[in-house]
Amino acid sequence: MIEFKNVKKVYPDGTKAIKDFSLKVNEGELVTLIGPSGCGKTTTMKMINRLIEPTAGNIYINEKNINDYNIHELRWNIGYVLQEIALFPHLTIEENIAVVPEMKRWKRKKIQERNKELLNMVGLDPSTYQRRMPNELSGGEQQRIGVIRALAADPDIILMDEPFSALDPISREQLQSDIRKLQKEIKKTIVFVTHDIDEAMALGDKVCLMKNGGIVQVDTPQQLILRP
């Protein structure tokens, strides 16, 4: 569970990026953050794994203040998927997925099994894809690897910052349906940033509508439709 309590962020140049942000994301819930460019979505995400420090207020994960976690422990437990696909170009797909499990000193056999399981989960045949290099994959396939790499070491929380925005509509739909399936199977707590209202409504258990560093409304997609 992630909880923001009266969080504010003022950047050193005086920009008030987040004005008063309180939000609860329950365990196993997928919340989409939606709003125009510059409304504070990325700032909000980066505060969760302490890439950015709030100016005021507190953030809790499982009711413990994030400042009270060891920073590595905190980040290892959070998978982060970014818009720009950032696979390591000189590592095979298998090696890319294994990076965090290896840091966590998982056994070789467990890593290999996890690799296969994850590739199958997103419909990529391990025997074909494991040994390929990132540049031998399409954009959509690379982004799928980006998603499963974030899941590899089984983090409780997954942050996704416009992970599909660079993709063509078909790959995008495919990945949205992958995420919905993953969410059902693995019941992770996910915060998903998008500026696409259809994507926000299709994916979110709850949709958090942001504007100018604040929350306009948080509701289920159904309620948002009823009360526009």
> What are the residues binding ligand ADP (CB under 6 A)?
11, 13, 15, 17, 35, 37-43, 46, 49, 51, 75, 80, 82
Number of Cβ atoms within 10 Å of the Cβ of 90: 9
Cβ neighbours of residue 211 closer than 8 Å, sequence gap 6 or more = 35, 36, 39
- Residue with the two structure tokens 């063509």: 168
Instruction: Report the residue number, 41 or 188, with the smaller CB distance to ligand ADP.
Output: 41
Quote the least distance from Cβ 175 to ligand ADP, whole Å: 19
Instruction: Report the residue number, 8 or 46, with the smaller CB distance to ligand ADP.
Output: 46
Instruction: Report the residue number, 124 or 157, with the smaller CB distance to ligand ADP.
Output: 157
Instruction: Report the residue number, 93 or 150, with the smaller CB distance to ligand ADP.
Output: 150
What does the angle CA 158 – CA 80 – CA 41 come to, to the nearest 5 degrees? 85
Quote the least distance from Cβ 10 to ligand ADP, whole Å: 9
Quote the least distance from Cβ 13 to ligand ADP, whole Å: 5
What are the tokens at 15?
A: 């920009």
Quote the least distance from Cβ 195 to ligand ADP, whole Å: 8
Rounded CA-CA distance 176/170 in Å is 10
Cβ neighbours of residue 209 closer than 8 Å, sequence gap 6 or more = 34, 35, 215, 216, 217, 218, 224
Instruction: Report the residue number, 11 or 88, with the smaller CB distance to ligand ADP.
Output: 11
Quote the least distance from Cβ 23 to ligand ADP, whole Å: 14
Rounded CA-CA distance 21/18 in Å is 7
